[in-house]
Amino acid sequence: MRGNGAHEQREIGRHRAPARQNPLSSPFKSLTKRFGPLFSAADSRKLMAVTGLVGALGVAAAGGVAANAAPDEKVNLHTASVSRVEAENAATRSMTRTTTGTAPVETAPKAAPKAAPKAAVEAAPKAATQAAPKAAPKTAPKAAAPKAAPKAAPKAAAPKAPAKPKAAAQPVLRPVAGLDMVQMRNAQAIVQAGKELGLPKRAYVAAIACAMQESQLYNLASTVYAESYNYTNQGEGSDHDSVGLFQQRPTSGWGTVKDLMQPKYAATQFYNALKNVQGWQDMPLTLAIQEVQVSAFPYHYAKHETRAQQVVDALTN
């Protein structure tokens, strides 16, 4: 056995001594064998150096295992050496082909990953959105509404002024007792003046009967007073200096020409004189009028009493 061992050692010595192979380094060598053609010559030399270092580490590890192992579990160093030689030769052949035989192999660029279909891309976030529980939207705290300014106390309604009594509707003016519209308007002015003085209807009848006798209920200017023509008139008279409906004389103190040419003013002057007659309401109408007018024909007023009553009734009813 010893002779055979020495013989084997001599045979090994004739060649390069095979390095011991660590079983733990075989994965690294397998990687070297697989990816060796992909590297350049310089990379191959670096790889050889790394492989040698790994192998040395493997031998040291194997020696430690063999020293500590039981006799029946010792590693067959001869078998490991042979395996290492074969692996090294294979690596040498691969690197020799890479450096001398062919040009460095260029690795084909990896194809860019295909873009996922648009529908899938859009569906993914939607699915994720649907799967994720929806967080309840936080509502911002509402700002406290500004308090309304206190309403001013309603102003006390001002007491309404008492409504003025409505004037009684004036009757439709229609001529009666054979009068025309001008005469009827003059009679209306006479009645209105008597109402304002608060006199009874008999006073209205006396005033209208007097105007019928004196001027036929027309407002007459005087030929004596040229001024009298400056005012509204329906004719003229020539009895001394008498003017207006009642033929009152300015020289006797009845008033100015201007005032006496106003029907309402002239009627008021007649009523004021009538009120001064003692017992005029009980006197015959013609005599009561005579006390005011002092006419040369005191009984002529009596013939107008009936018609005057008709006119007053028409204007007051």
Q: Tell me which of 315 and 12 has the higher pLDDT.
A: 315
Please list, in sequence order, all residues whose beta carbon lies within 8 angstroms of the beta carbon of residue 281, skipping any fewer than 6 positions away: 200, 202, 288
Residue 177: exposed, middle, or buried by beta-carbon count in 10 A (0-12, 13-18, 19+)? buried
CA distance 21 to 78: 9
Contacts of 215 (CB under 8 A, 6+ apart): 237, 244, 245, 246, 247
Region 72-95: what's the mean pLDDT? 51
Give per-residue pLDDT as tens, 29-67: 555 565 555 545 555 566 566 566 656 666 555 555 444
Instruction: Tell me the average pLDDT of the chain.
Output: 72
Comparing 29-33, 56-60, 115-119, 200-204, the range with the smallest average pLDDT is 115-119
Question: CB atoms < 10 A from the CB of 78, how many?
Answer: 13
Cβ-Cβ contacts under 8 Å for 224 (sequence gap 6 or more): 238, 240, 241
Which tokens go with 214?
Answer: 């004196």
Pairing of strands 221-222, 236-237: parallel
pTM here? 0.48
Q: Which token pair is 60? A: 């040291």
